[in-house]
Chain A
Amino acid sequence: MAKLLIVDDEADIREFAANFFSKRKIEVITASSGEEAVEITEKHKPDLILMDIKMNGINGIEALRRIKEKNKDAKVIMVTGRKPEDEGSFDQCQRLGALGYVHKPLELGELERVVMSALVK
């Protein structure tokens, strides 16, 4: 079963997304901070990481950098509040090797598609 790590500091979003993908036969693990995400990635080697950018502590971009440093094959999709090209972080995420991005509020159908196609790649 494919393993998905969901990283978000909002419990509401974490729980909803976890439930959403569990129903689609995906094993879901969650992290509530960037630091935790780095640790869990080390330990559980998820097939895909869904990473919120705006978080307390280290943000998603910094977590992405640390994860990629240790494991350059890790697949990470960034989740952002605005269009990332607006906040200038899109380029940064791409340079750091993010697989893609989605922005909130998001089409759940699109989220499903993006995650599923990344998992079969």
Chain B
Amino acid sequence: MAIDYKKELESASKTMILIHDPNALIKIIVRMIVQKVKLRYAGILLHQKEGDSYILTVSRGRLGIRIPEGFARMNADNPLISFFRERKDKELFRDGAIVYKKAKKILNRKNISPHLKKVLRGAVYQMEIFDAVACIPSYFRDDLLGLLLMGKKNNGREFSQDELNFFSALASDVAMAIRNAQLFKEIELELNKTHELFLHTTMALAAAVDAKDHYTRGHIGRVTDLSMKIAGELGKINTKAADPKFVESLYIASLLHDIGKIGIPGAILNKDGPLTDDERKLIRDHAVIGVKILEPIKELGESVLGVKYHHEWYDGSGYPDGLKEKQIPLIAGIIAVADTFDAMAIDRPYRRALSKDQAIEEIKKQSGKQFDPQIASIIIKLYQENKI
């Protein structure tokens, strides 16, 4: 057996373990074994959790001799599978592989138990059915993840011990690659779950504010939708607004922009009449209260800026810090427009709701004063195109 292809396979296998791509690795291994060791065929059965069976997934070799991919399976109770699952290979074959000829010899021995003989006879019969002369298990710990079946060599010679050892090493690389890929998938699932939990918790918090402020019921949901639409359109001309990370922060910030209202007495929020100056001041505190509430959640990052500055004005006359123009974070500028547009469409004790037409007129008037002109122009465009 030439050394060059061994090296090639070894390095391919190390790479594949790292990139979590067991299927590519298995294909390379099976192809190389057939080509370089010159076998009539080789195939790998891989474990499927569903149905707890082993499916012949990769197969190479001569037409008519190779087993078609996806055609054959072995159930958990298949004698060859139970032979390996019960780790009988350890008892009978030092290196883990079953070689057909050796197995036949063992069957003729008198010093093995009837049970072992029965299992081995079943396994040998399966090898005959599959026309395999050697069979190499792929374990992770004691879990059988796959089975490499090999047909005769074209020249009729036996496998050398050296070759069998090498195949066993490859088989354990395959197991490692499969296991790593599984772990990687599980971690990804777990991360997704955690992320979902975060989003749903945020929505629950947002609903708490919505329930407290009677005048603005449904307002948070509408502001969030509007912010998303603005970002979608703005993203075409502003790369930051197109960044998925920014969009997610904006989404969270929109949901939480009024979270500070939890700290404002309900009697003021829901007051049936005009507000006094003191009351208005108190309501203004909601931006800073919001930041305090969210402070412990370090992961919120940029979202907190949206909560803190969504009442800043482009000309510097807003609150809490009187920031102006480019000092106002983009995230806050977007929420400011969406928030005001929606608020204008709500009836208040001191004024009737404006129509959308009137609200847009108001945005136009305030562009460059209350609002960042670029963002204002986006909501105007969305309105003109009937998208809001």
B3 at the interface (CB under 8 A from A): no
The one of A11, A104, A109 that contacts B63, using a Cβ cutoff of 8 Å: A11
Is there contact, CB below 8 Å, between A106 and B71?
A: yes
Binds B, one of A15-23, A34-42, A70-78, A90-98: A15-23
Per-residue CB contact flags for chain B residues 119-143 toward chain A (1 = under 8 Å, else 0) read: 0000001100110000000000000
Bound complex: CA of A13 vs CA of B64, how far in Å? 8
**Given A107-B78, A109-B78, CB of A16 within 8 Å of CB of B129:** no
User: A109: shortest Cβ distance to chain B, in Å?
Assistant: 6
Closest 7 A/B residue pairs (Cβ): A15-B64, A105-B73, A12-B68, A19-B64, A13-B68, A108-B129, A105-B55
> Could you tell me which B residues sit within 8 Å of A by CB distance?
55-56, 63-75, 78, 125-126, 129-130
Chain A residues lying within 8 Å of B66, measured Cβ to Cβ, are 12, 16
- Interface of chain A residues 77 through 121 with chain B (CB within 8 A): 104-109, 112
Of listed A104, A106, A109, A112, residue having the most chain B CB within 10 A: A109
A10 at the interface (CB under 8 A from B): yes
- Beta-carbon nearest neighbor of B69 in chain A: A12
Chain A residues lying within 8 Å of B71, measured Cβ to Cβ, are 12-13, 16, 104-106
**Given A105-B55, A105-B56, A112-B129, CB of A16 within 8 Å of CB of B65:** yes
Bound complex: CA of A12 vs CA of B67, how far in Å? 8
User: B53: shortest Cβ distance to chain A, in Å?
Assistant: 8
- Beta-carbon nearest neighbor of A16 in chain B: B68
Is there contact, CB below 8 Å, between A12 and B63?
A: yes
Bound complex: CA of A116 vs CA of B130, how far in Å? 17
- Interface of chain A residues 1 through 45 with chain B (CB within 8 A): 10-13, 15-16, 18-19
Bound complex: CA of A11 vs CA of B126, how far in Å? 24
Is there contact, CB below 8 Å, between B67 and A16?
A: yes
Of listed B63, B66, B68, B70, residue having the most chain A CB within 10 A: B68
How many residues of chain A get a CB closer than 8 Å to chain B's CBs?
15
Chain B residues lying within 8 Å of A19, measured Cβ to Cβ, are 64-65
- Beta-carbon nearest neighbor of A19 in chain B: B64
Bound complex: CA of A28 vs CA of B55, how far in Å? 26
- Beta-carbon nearest neighbor of B45 in chain A: A105
Other contacts beyond A107-B74, A109-B78: 18, CB < 8 A: A10-B68, A11-B63, A12-B69, A13-B68, A15-B63, A16-B64, A16-B65, A16-B68, A105-B55, A105-B56, A105-B70, A105-B71, A105-B72, A105-B73, A107-B72, A108-B129, A109-B125, A109-B126
User: A21: shortest Cβ distance to chain B, in Å?
Assistant: 12
- Beta-carbon nearest neighbor of A8 in chain B: B68
User: A12: shortest Cβ distance to chain B, in Å?
Assistant: 4
- Beta-carbon nearest neighbor of B122 in chain A: A109
Chain B residues lying within 8 Å of A10, measured Cβ to Cβ, are 68
Chain A residues lying within 8 Å of B56, measured Cβ to Cβ, are 105
**Given A11-B63, A15-B63, A112-B129, CB of A106 within 8 Å of CB of B73:** yes
Chain A residues lying within 8 Å of B74, measured Cβ to Cβ, are 107
Bound complex: CA of A108 vs CA of B59, how far in Å? 15
- Beta-carbon nearest neighbor of A79 in chain B: B71
Bound complex: CA of A107 vs CA of B252, how far in Å? 53
Bound complex: CA of A107 vs CA of B129, how far in Å? 10
- Beta-carbon nearest neighbor of A24 in chain B: B129
- Beta-carbon nearest neighbor of B56 in chain A: A105
Can you give 18 contacting A-B residue pairs, CB < 8 Å? A11-B63, A12-B68, A12-B71, A16-B64, A16-B67, A16-B68, A16-B71, A18-B64, A19-B65, A104-B71, A105-B70, A105-B71, A105-B72, A106-B72, A106-B73, A107-B73, A107-B75, A112-B129
